[in-house]
A and B are shown apart, each in its own frame.
Chain A
Amino acid sequence: MKKVSTLIAFLSVCLMAHAQKSYTHSLSGIKKVVVSSNTTMEFKTGNSNELVIGHIETKDGHQHHDHNDDQIDERAKGLTPIYAGGNDNTNGFGFSVEKEGDVLKVKDLKSFMQRSGLRFTLPKGIDLSIDTGNLGSADVNGFDSDIEVNSNVGGVVLTNVTGPITARTSTGNIEVVFTEVNQTSPISLRSSTGAVDVSLPANTKANLELKSTMGNVFTDFDVKYQQEEGMKVVGANRKIDTQINGGGVLIKLSSSVGNVYLRKK
């Protein structure tokens, strides 16, 4: 009997530890997820209609843990942490999750110092709005939905996406690789001092607006200003308005200080 209760105690400790490693929320009736966090964020696609928040795995397969997960604070026994940004309703995972109509708002309550990377797994068709706070970054892969990203110093990497996409950084770079380009509404990518680097399928139909106020614009697409082979400077200090493959949805890329790169994929 004693053995059994020890086993139960052991198992429940395991379960508690497990509960700390990921958090799952149903996305039934949800079309858009709004995420804000100050850490490195990865967004991956999953097959079930739910949001799973976990830690980013390192190359050897181990998960990063949040900095204070490992230290058990004896003084905090029987108490729950409270946060200035809202109430943790994620079983100690440190998030506030609220449903507003068909939008799910997911707010990280922990600080940059308390996190070391988060992975969000969602269905590929769900619309995303991502705010990386002051120091966070976003790496998004495989979504064919409407994506909005606002970042400050952290970079924004969007791979295997279709748009519509609206992204903005202060100093971080913006890198986007499109599998195809959704023609329904504009793509707009802006940075103040970072680079904007975009790869499109060669047959993409689009109206392009490319601009770097103080840097250069490079492309290997056939645009009017191009004079020589390869990736050439197509126009410093001015806006390039042109069409590719007969024209299509507006793709607007700009940086004030950084360079703008538009590549054929």
Chain B
Amino acid sequence: MDCKQFENNILDYLDGSLAEAEKQRFKAHLQSCASCQAELEAQQKLMTLFGQVPQETPSDRLRDGFLDMLAEEQQAQVVHMAHKKEFPWKTAFQIAASIALVMGGFFLGGLRSGDTSQEQISALQQESKVLKQQMMLALMENRSPSKRIQAVNYTEEIAQPDATLIKALADRLLYDANSNVRLAAAEALGNFKSSQQARAALIEALNTEKDPSLQIELIGILVRLQEKRALEPMKKLLETQETPIYVKEQLNNGITQLI
């Protein structure tokens, strides 16, 4: 078993769905590989984190019910993973997101039965939101650009992003080494029309971005936002000698739409 196969087997190992022969090979690799030991520990911590999520909820009754629910859902998830291998439950974030989803369903159930207060429900919802955001922020630091793009795209689901989230997206836009990730961040920020922080990051990016196709995307987004403060960096880019002719075309086009 190599490290890749090991990685693919971690969740199955943790939930006990690995066949005996596989389990032996898994353990043999574990003995010999420090980096996979670390990976397994990290995954175990993550799973524990999900188990601990509702511990500080106000009502014991609510909490117990919730824990049962969570345990049931984890059970269901095990079945899911064991029988539908192709289903993409393999990344930690997706597990977190699905649990958050179940929590949402549980709140609705609680509301209907009318035996929990609105405050308790919002406290729980708040916690699940925080967890979801923490997972998203962590995934934005993943070394795979594809995973970082995935994390950036998840922000589309968030209607009211807080300053921490916008800051994280702005960091991706301005500092990510991979320009495909920077593009995803630009598009995500462009969706938050009413955030001044998001607009400021997009304008800043137009000042610093060297990738021509990303410059074109930024121009498009800022023109769509009717962001007149973009005129200055656009004019500057138009006067820069290194700017490719096809970018200048888009700049001229954009400037006339903003003036």
Contact = CB atoms under 8 A, between A and B. Distances in A.
B4 A125 contact: yes
Interface residues of A, number: 42
Interface string A166-184: 1110100000000000011
Interface in A24-56: 28-32, 49
Which of A32, A183, A213, A254 counts the most B-chain CB atoms under 10 A from its CB?
A213
Given A31-B3, A146-B144, A255 B178 contact: no
Given A103-B143, A164-B144, A166-B178, A188 B149 contact: yes
B246 A257 contact: yes
B36 interface: yes
Residue in A49, A126, A192, A254 whose Cβ sees the most chain B Cβ within 10 Å: A192
B148 to A, nearest CB: 9
Chain A interface secondary structure, helix, strand, loop or mixed?
loop
A222 interface: no
- Chain B interface size range: 35 or more
Contacts of B246: 193, 214, 256-257
A64 B159 CA distance: 57
Interface stretch (B11-19, B86-94, B227-235): B86-94
B211 A192 contact: yes
A259 interface: no
B86 A190 contact: no
B145 A166 contact: yes
Interface in A143-187: 145-146, 148, 150, 163-168, 170, 183-187
Interface in B156-192: 178-181, 183-184
B120 interface: no
Contacts of B90: 184
B150 A183 contact: no
Contacts of A101: 35
Nearest to B89: A184
A188 B5 CA distance: 24
Contacts, number: 105
Interface in B227-257: 244, 246, 249-250
Given A31-B7, A101-B35, A214-B246, A187 B211 contact: no
A184 B139 CA distance: 13
Contact of A29 (B5, B7, B34): B34
Nearest to A126: B4
Nearest to B91: A184
B147 interface: yes
Contacts of A249: 88
Contact of B145 (A31, A148, A184, A213): A148
Nearest to A256: B213
A105 to B, nearest CB: 12
A49 B2 contact: yes
A191 B213 contact: yes
B47 interface: no
Most buried by B among A30, A249, A256: A256
A123 interface: yes
B213 A192 contact: yes
A30 B86 CA distance: 25
B247 to A, nearest CB: 8
Contact of B146 (A125, A146, A254): A146
A250 B153 CA distance: 10
A186 B213 contact: no
B187 to A, nearest CB: 10
A165 B149 CA distance: 11
Nearest to A123: B2
B153 A150 contact: no
Nearest to B151: A185
Contacts of A193: 246
A101 B180 CA distance: 25
B110 interface: no
B175 to A, nearest CB: 16
Contacts of B150: 185-186
Interface in A236-265: 249-250, 254-257
Interface of A: 28-32, 49, 101-103, 123, 125-127, 145-146, 148, 150, 163-168, 170, 183-188, 190-193, 213-214, 249-250, 254-257
29 contacts: A28-B33, A29-B34, A31-B35, A32-B143, A123-B4, A125-B2, A125-B3, A126-B3, A127-B4, A148-B178, A164-B147, A165-B146, A166-B146, A166-B149, A166-B180, A166-B181, A170-B212, A183-B88, A185-B91, A185-B144, A185-B146, A185-B149, A185-B150, A187-B146, A190-B213, A192-B212, A193-B246, A213-B250, A256-B216
Given A166-B181, A168-B180, A183-B88, 4 more contacts: A103-B143, A123-B2, A146-B144, A190-B179
